[in-house]
Amino acid sequence: MNKPNYTQVGRSVPRIDGPLKVKGEAIYTDDMVLPRMAYGKIKRSPYAHAIIKKIDYSKALELPGVIAVITGEDGPNKWGIVPQTANEVALAVGKVRFWGEGVAAVAAIDEETAEAALDLIEVEYEPLPVLLDPQESMQRANEVRIHEDAPENILHAGEQLFGDPDKAFAECTYVLEKEFHTSYVNHAFLEPHTALASFDTPSGQLQMWSSTQVPHYLHRQLSIVLEMPMNKIRVTLPAIGGAFGGKGEASPADFCAALLSRKIGRPVKVTYERSEVFATNKGRHPCHMKMKIGLDQDGYIQAIDFDNTLDGGAYAGWGIVVMFYTASMIHLPYKVPNARARVRRVYTNKPTCGAMRGLGGVQPRYAMECMLDEMAEMVGISPYELKMKNAVESGYLSVSNLHVPHTEYKKCLQTAVEKSGYLEKHGKLPFGKGIGLAGGYYISGTAYTLYQAYKPHTTVLIRVDTEGGVTVHCAAADIGQGCNTVMAQMAAEELGIRYEDVHVVSGDTETGTFDLGSFASRLTYASGVAIKDAAAQINQKLKEVAAGMVGCRADQLEIKDGRFYSKFEPKKAIEWEKVVDVYTNAVGTLVGIGHFSPPRLKGIDLTRGKRVQGANIGHSPTFGFSCQIWEVDVDLETGKIRVAKVTEAGDCGQAVNPMSVDGQVEGSIMFAMGQALYEEMRLDAEGKMINASLHDYKVPTAMELPEIDTTIVDSYDPTAPFGVKESGEGPVQPTIPAITNAVYDAIGVRFTDLPITPEKVLRALKEKQALNSECSGS
């Protein structure tokens, strides 16, 4: 299908939220102060696993300025983003399962008093053995049980079989099997979790302001924990300082603020310290993976066998979803006719793992792209050639029934290879310098809600009148990714007006229409469908009025650049505002309402025609693709890896705001580079985090920022609204393997665990040297 000539979509426009943020005028939740507002603080466990014998807060209540104290008993209903596995509580009940778990919360007249009161709460613990390693956790499950209902210390385990991998492996010419281990990392968003609750006792209404990326799911969880109907709760998002998945669930800050506010009849604000962000983590799952890949004599992938043990930490959270995502990620972006995945998500006494940018993809992508790099060497061709051979094409249907309506993945590979000079450099640079290639993909939304429901995932209401102009209403969460801006661009495009003239009302469950939330890179696609639907209704009504004004049939009218005109006699035209004026005078405010429901795709083993457990996860209306090529210099004396250059090419369909896409890609590169080279949460033997600060947890700084060359490849998905796909999570996928492959090219060592620290590099260089001299000596 030919790409339409867009005027508002495809424009690099400044972000709607930009000016206020740059000027420091954006209001974040913690900036808000309400009359009579109290401050909440959470008392946290110094043990990673212990029975709570007794909590005595009488002394805290005696401290002048303390208004109330709550414990787990005040809101014991279990909550969780996935209802089937919900096992979290606002504050621990009877037992703590990780270091830093909340055991009580205080409301006081100021933060200082609240903090002082925490020291006066006396908690008696009976420490239990601490399990920090998933293997140990499974082995010692009969002796130490983290959750009563999980006798093996496993949240869930699954096996997915597609085709006949065993038979296929037997016929393969090249088979490689390796183990990979990924690290325990946190999102490190700038704004800590913060929530402000205001419960009005006479009306029984709760107003929440919260730093969340899922207002709807927060809304639901509040309803469960507080035992209040959803229509008595309103969730509003002030400006959000980043989330990256870490605000993709409710947090105890939300529940404690709400429970305390209801208890005292005053507004209560709870804002975390950075150490509390780490203590309540919800970052990426460390994965202990075994992967086996088989190629035929020509280098075509015939089978993949994937085994993954996910270290989930103390609670369920997004765990089961992340687990099945890791299983689904082996089916793309290459054609894999036979596959098996065995996955299990294990409880340990650590702050819980959850959703993090590129959820479920980053770990298997690391294994797969590194192994294909190695297998290209076995076959004797370049990794580029191997990946081009196996890359999926538009219309591809995986053996697991994943449907790829459109892809420019090969174009991504070609573009990055040409722009970086990969083929001229790979394998030919001096020792210590290297270049590495990796590809990746990600979903553009999901096929299902997390709870059983088949309602539309997004609803957009567009309101037009002479006073407000055009206002787009949707309870979507702009967490810094820029959805408000792209929604305005898409609405303007469809209505034939300018982006600058569209207002967006989002992030509020009362003034905004329904939206599931900002996760799974779903919003541009989902809101795009709903916007088109809503705008069509408005255009139809306005055309009927305009037709009479210009004297032609309504179905002959086009709307562009703020004018209605006859497509046959363009001189017959009238300004858009005049039509709105006439319509409003005659009828009043005009609204259009549009919905998005994703296709209900199923995970099926197509060779047998059988449904596969957990394989509905991973389906998406469309997928984004990308390739990254990293060039590194390894300091052979210190082991330090310096990144010289990154060349990226991505298929995000039609970019709605190219400048924003560039920002997402550059941000993704820095984000994933942190996990590859620097970041890791470290625990001591008792499970206490020893680097719970941004001082000791090392995210890359501006000094580590490499030269980045990004290309948005020409792409348009004809099945997608405005041809769009995701661009915020796909680009984190190739980073870690591309760096790892570049390090291999530089020093001949393939790293299979993260992060690749200077110390590990130096040790590997020495081992290699020792091996070499041994070989040459014998």
Partner 1 sequence: MYLNDFEYFAPKTCGEILDLVGRLGTKAKILAGGTDLLIMMKEKMLKPDYLIDINDVQELKGISYEPGKGAVIGTATKISEIEHSDLIREKYFALSQAAGELGSAQVRAMATLGGNSCHASPAAETPPPLVALGAKVVVKSIAGEKELPLEEFILGNRKTTLAEGEILTKFLLPEPAPRSASRYSYIGLRDAMEIDAVNMAVNLALEDDGRTVKSLRMVMGSVSPVPLIAVEAQGILIGQVFNQELMEKAAQAASVEANPISDIRASAEYRREMVAVLARRLLQQAFNAASGTKEGNW
Question: Tokens representing 376?
Answer: 């290209």
Residue number, 488 or 754, with CB nearest to partner 1: 754
513 to 470, 473, 485, 724: CA distances (angstroms): 16, 6, 17, 22
Least distance (Å) between residue 699 CB and partner 1:
9
Nearer to partner 1, 277 or 379 (CB): 277
Taking alpha carbons only, the member of 390, 378, 388 closest to residue 423 is 388
Beta bridge partners of 565: 558, 573
Please return the burial class of 609, using the count of CB atoms within 10 Å of its CB with bins 0-12, 13-18 and 19+: exposed
Least distance from partner 1 to the Cβ atom of residue 726, Å? 30
Instruction: Output the smallest distance, CB 29 to partner 1, in A.
Output: 18
Contact residues: partner 1, CB under 8 A: 111-112, 115-116, 273, 637-638, 640, 677-678, 682, 690-691, 695-696, 698, 700-704, 757-759, 762
What strands lie across the sheet with 623-634, from one edge to the other?
433-443, 623-634, 641-651, 707-712
For partner 1, the closer CB: 51 or 690: 690
**Rounded-to-integer distance, Cα 336 and Cα 323, Å:** 20
- Minimum CB separation from partner 1 for residue 122, in Å? 18
Distance CA(676)–CA(666), nearest Å, equals 15
Q: Cβ of residue 70: shortest distance to partner 1, in angstroms?
A: 21
How many Cα atoms occupy the beta-carbon half-sphere of 628 within 13 Å?
35
* Least spacing, CB of residue 763 vs partner 1, in Å: 8
Closer of 100 and 158 to partner 1 (Cβ): 100
Nearest to 241 by CA among 194, 290, 302, 305: 194
Q: For residues 1 and 703, which CB has a smaller minimum distance to partner 1 in the complex?
A: 703
In angstroms, the CA 774 to CA 764 distance is 15
Closest CB 762 distance from partner 1, rounded Å: 7
Nearer to partner 1, 561 or 684 (CB): 684
For partner 1, the closer CB: 61 or 116 = 116
Closest by CA to 569, choosing from 583, 558, 580, is 558
Least distance in angstroms from the C-beta of 234 to partner 1: 31
Minimal distance, residue 704 CB to partner 1, in Å: 6
Output 700 or 721, the one with its CB closest to partner 1: 700
Task: Write the DSSP string, 153-196.
Answer: SEEEEEEEEES-HHHHHHT-SEEEEEEEE---B----SSPPEEE
- Indicate the residue among 679 and 729 with the shorter CB distance to partner 1: 679
Closest distance to partner 1 from the beta carbon of 353 (Å): 21
CA distance 576 to 585: 14
Q: Give yes or no for a contact between 741 and 436, defined as CB atoms under 8 angstroms apart.
A: yes
Residue 644 or 762 having the CB closest to partner 1: 762
Q: How far apart are CA 85 and CA 263, in angstroms?
A: 28
Amino acid at residue number 324: F
For 173, counting Cβ atoms within 10 Å of its Cβ (0-12 exposed, 13-18 middle, 19+ buried), the class is middle
- Contact partners, residue 409, CB within 8 Å, separation at least 6: 333, 391, 392, 439, 441, 625, 627, 651
